Structure 1
Amino acid sequence: MVKLLVTDLDGTLLPSGRTVSLGNIKAAQAATAAGVVVTLATGRMFRAALPIAEQLGVDAPIIAYNGALIKRMSGEVLFSKFLPPDLIREVVTFGQERGWHLQSYCADRVLFAQYDAYARAYEQNQEIQGEIVGWDGLRSCTEEVCKLLSITSGGEETDARVAALNAHFGERIEAMRSNANYAEIVSPGVSKASALVRLTGILGIPLAETMAIGDADNDLPMLRAAGRSIAMGNAVPEVKAACDYETAKCSENGFAKAVYDYVLEGGMRQ
């Protein structure tokens, strides 16, 4: 039996922005009515995830910033792990010296070093407005920074940046690819998987009675940690290979199909 369903957002519950399809909303509410806790696990900031949870009509803790923050919709913080100020300054300088696009998330605000095409596309995709603070602004705003993000032009460049970050900073950071264009920097040990495990303890739900659904590389640890896992039809090959089940694509309401097929009808079926 599934007692906790954890879903990724971008590429899973919705293609972009904040508008969830009616089909996915109805499926989430049907799961909730059946006694399943439905919650979100995302690389997005809490402020960008909250309107989506409100659309779904679910009242569960949100896993934001790839697991660096677990926060109830009421604002109660259940867990947080911020990047140390000295390390933030080092990473910002590292990115500046290489001419990267880099942005920071400080106290649930998104800060841009410069307002370039990447920043404009990010604002449009997330339907959220950032602040332009310059490189020194990124270095000086170091309180409650859950993550830094470098946006690239494609997968090869993203992989190269992740490799460069991990090689230079070693175990001081956790650099990961969350999609083809996003290289994320968080504290060591932060992941959707660690947040899922922590959340099951908070809610008193056995890990074996959880199900997770996702599509991207940063979802892999969570999908492997959950009792059962579902890959979106548009998921990367590594995700499909790791999951127990596969559903339809995000554009085809694959989340809703997964809920009806595996949560409400089949449960933990083999």
Structure 2
Amino acid sequence: MAIKLLATDLDGTLLRSGKPVSAGNIAAAQAAAREGTVVTIATGRMYQAALPVAKALGLDVPIITYNGALIKSTSGKIYYEHYLDEDICRRITDFCAERKWYLQSYSGDNLYYSDSGEFSKRYELSQKVIGEEVGYAGMRKQVSRMYKMLIITAGADVTQNWMAELRAEFGDSISLTQSAPDFIEIIAPGVSKAAGLQKLADILDIDICETMAIGDANNDLPMLRAAGFSVAMGNAADDIKAVTNAVTGNCDDDGWAQAVNQYILKQ
């Protein structure tokens, strides 16, 4: 069956670490588009951080951002939004403040930090965005149109312990996912890349069986399971590779373009 919709993760998938989209990946994306495949991004990134990548591909398509909480085209058309509850956002802020956990939030596609330092500077550099330090008190006030909240930890072991604390406190009122070992991404229940892929497929009148997804991280798992055909990057962990239909080359070797050439362009 022909692939009509391709959804791709960014970091570790389409993008090499700290680098723009490669010429090989751009060429593959444009070739797929010429063959009639809608090529879209599905990322945990905020919209303003994903937009330059979408533009680099040279395609005006809806992009799935904030792990599925916002679907918005490169030309600015909003297709779907799903926010965190404002009271829950305030409770999460207080919860983190009591423990002195670093927190950042994304309200109306604006980025706010509990404090500026190593974590915020590293994030700004990797995402090429600028946030604003407002403290926990300021974050309590910036809770409208909250697509996502993000806690950054000192490492993977800390992350798992803190996620357990969050689940114990907030239960089913939030969903947790990860795009990196030191990230705890908090989104509304029902939000995921898989749900975003399904919604976009419905909007475009494409059957989910005619979709393909490429990813490498834990927050890609729902999307990889939901897509009609799924591909894990060669640099993905073994548990990611175990659920996909195929495995391609590493991100740094244009494994993304290899997958598009093999499974969409049939080269």
* 1:43-84 deviation line (CA, Å, top 9, x unaligned): 000001011000001121010000001111121111111111
Deviates more, 1:40-49 or 1:177-186: 177-186
State the SS of the aligned residue for 1:205: coil
Q: Which runs of 5+ in 1 are unaligned?
A: none
AA in 2 matched with 1:55: A
State the SS of the aligned residue for 1:70: strand
Measured after TM superposition, the shift of residue 16 of structure 1 is 3.7
Distance in structure 1 (CA, Å) of the matches to 2:154 and 2:23: 32
* 1:184-218 deviation line (CA, Å, top 9, x unaligned): 00000100001111111000011001000000000
Distance in structure 2 (CA, Å) of the matches to 1:237 and 1:151: 24
Partner in structure 1 of residue 9 of structure 2: 8
Distance in structure 2 (CA, Å) of the matches to 1:162 and 1:249: 29
Partner in structure 2 of residue 111 of structure 1: 112
* Moved >3 Å (runs of 4+): none
Distance in structure 1 (CA, Å) of the matches to 2:177 and 2:162: 9
State the SS of the aligned residue for 1:251: helix
Partner in structure 2 of residue 49 of structure 1: 50
State the SS of the aligned residue for 2:147: strand
**TM-score for both structures, normalised by structure 1:** 0.96
CA contact (8 A) 1:18 1:127 kept: no
Partner in structure 2 of residue 86 of structure 1: 87
Distance in structure 2 (CA, Å) of the matches to 1:237 and 1:97: 36
Partner in structure 1 of residue 29 of structure 2: 28
Change beyond 3 A, Cα 1:91–1:148: same
Deviates more, 1:135-144 or 1:257-266: 257-266
Distance in structure 1 (CA, Å) of the matches to 2:132 and 2:154: 22
1:235 maps onto 2:236 in alignment: yes
1:168 maps onto 2:147 in alignment: no
1:67 maps onto 2:68 in alignment: yes
Distance in structure 1 (CA, Å) of the matches to 2:119 and 2:103: 9
CA RMSD of aligned residues (A): 1.0
AA in 2 matched with 1:253: D
**TM-score for both structures, normalised by structure 2:** 0.97
Deviates more, 1:50-59 or 1:13-22: 13-22
State the SS of the aligned residue for 2:111: strand
Partner in structure 2 of residue 224 of structure 1: 225
Equivalent pairs, count? 266
Measured after TM superposition, the shift of residue 142 of structure 1 is 1.0
1:199 maps onto 2:200 in alignment: yes
Distance in structure 1 (CA, Å) of the matches to 2:84 and 2:243: 30
CA contact (8 A) 1:223 1:243 kept: yes
AA in 2 matched with 1:19: P
AA in 1 matched with 2:97: Q
Alignment of 1:119-158 (within 5 A): 119-158=120-159
Partner in structure 2 of residue 254 of structure 1: 255
Distance in structure 2 (CA, Å) of the matches to 1:227 and 1:118: 37
Measured after TM superposition, the shift of residue 15 of structure 1 is 2.7
* 1:119-171 deviation line (CA, Å, top 9, x unaligned): 11001111111111111111100111100000112212222222221221001
AA in 1 matched with 2:101: W
Deviates more, 1:69-78 or 1:16-25: 16-25
Deviates more, 1:155-164 or 1:220-229: 155-164
Measured after TM superposition, the shift of residue 177 of structure 1 is 1.8
Measured after TM superposition, the shift of residue 98 of structure 1 is 1.3
Partner in structure 2 of residue 209 of structure 1: 210
Measured after TM superposition, the shift of residue 18 of structure 1 is 6.3
CA contact (8 A) 1:18 1:52 kept: no
Distance in structure 1 (CA, Å) of the matches to 2:243 and 2:78: 31
